[in-house]
């Protein structure tokens, strides 16, 4: 299944996600193999998706792909997909020279992209900045929703169940960031009131046991480390949002100057009007 609507459009940032096999033994090469890539281009001023691309990928070692996988990315499904070499130029065009955004991408997705390009002897795409929503939310949002897995955050905000498909997960990541930013803006406005109410009604929302069992293979690869998140026990100050987004600022400043993030924050504030 392929959805191609990417064009070079300017200063968009790219939310992306990869799905892979899980290292299963020597016969699988003791490594991850890409089986799907998905990305959306997002206008940083309006937080609007302007283009998308997704493709299944046939790995060099087809036996490494599970014959049964609830996300639908099975051995049979990828057998007729193009090899990475056939889609590498498209993926390079999407990623190279843009700000990359994703959940836990510094630890997982970025290394997988580099490995895939190394496999075909081509230089990998290079970002102008990287915004990893896992450390960003660890610093600013904390464990109020439970752990910081994408599935848990999506459940907390009522965004539905994570599908563990690249394009769907990239879109879900954008929505999670929007919701987290709105909560932080509200709390920074009236911390004494909204913080106390949050503490009174706080509950840890995690994936159901059934969902966790069905998605164990996907979650085991991309789950954040157990010690990644810390729980805040003090209210946010009024200038907290600026500190929360500091890492994102640094990435965008180096790539494009201050304007994109400032407009990101202006858009977030407009949600409250």
What Rg do the C-alpha atoms of the chain give, in angstroms?
A: 19
DSSP assignment, residue 109? I
Alpha helices (H) in 190-215, listed in sequence order = 191-201, 209-214
Length of the chain measured in residues: 273
Other C-beta atoms lying within 10 Å of the C-beta of residue 153: 26
* C-alpha distances in Å from residue 34, one per residue of 19, 119, 232: 6, 11, 36
Pick from 103, 93, 116, 87: which is nearest to 12 by CA?
93
Q: Map tokens 């159901």 to a residue.
A: 208
What distance in Å separates the CA atoms of residue 188 and residue 197, rounded to the nearest whole number? Answer: 14
Pick from 171, 187, 181: which is nearest to 261 by CA?
181
Q: Tell me the torsion sign for CA atoms 95, 99, 100, 102.
A: negative
- Residue 30, burial from CB neighbour count under 10 angstroms (0-12, 13-18, 19+): exposed
Is 11 within 8 Å of 44 (Cβ atoms)?
A: yes
What tokens does 87 get?
A: 């889609």
Candidate list 164, 179, 231, 267, residue with the active-site label: 164
231 is catalytic: no
Catalytic positions: 164
């Amino acid at each position: 299944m392929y959805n191609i609507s990417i064009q070079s459009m300017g200063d968009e940032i790219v939310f992306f996600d990869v799905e892979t096999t899980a290292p299963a033994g020597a016969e699988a090469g003791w490594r991850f193999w890409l089986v799907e890539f998905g990305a959306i281009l997002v206008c940083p001023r309006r937080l609007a998706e302007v283009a998308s691309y997704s493709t299944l990928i046939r790995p060099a070692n087809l036996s490494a792909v599970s014959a049964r996988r609830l996300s639908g990315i099975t051995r049979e499904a990828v057998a007729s997909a193009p090899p990475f070499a056939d889609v590498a130029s498209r993926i390079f065009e999407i990623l190279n020279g843009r700000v990359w955004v994703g959940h836990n991408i510094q630890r997982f997705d970025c290394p997988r992209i580099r490995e895939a390009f190394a496999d075909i002897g081509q230089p990998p795409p290079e970002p102008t900045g990287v915004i990893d929503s896992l450390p960003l939310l660890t610093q600013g949002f904390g464990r109020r929703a439970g752990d910081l897995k994408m599935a848990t955050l999506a459940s907390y905000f009522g965004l539905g169940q994570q599908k563990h498909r690249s394009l769907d997960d990239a879109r879900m990541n954008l929505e999670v960031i929007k919701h987290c930013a709105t909560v932080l803006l509200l709390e920074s406005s009236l911390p004494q009131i909204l913080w106390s109410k949050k503490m009174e009604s706080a509950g840890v929302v995690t994936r159901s046991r059934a969902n966790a069992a069905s998605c164990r293979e996907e979650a085991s690869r991309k789950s954040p480390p157990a010690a990644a998140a810390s729980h805040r026990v003090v209210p946010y100050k009024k200038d907290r949002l600026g500190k929360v987004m500091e890492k994102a600022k640094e990435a965008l400043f180096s790539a494009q100057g201050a304007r994109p993030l400032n407009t990101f924050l202006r858009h977030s504030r407009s949600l409250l009007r």
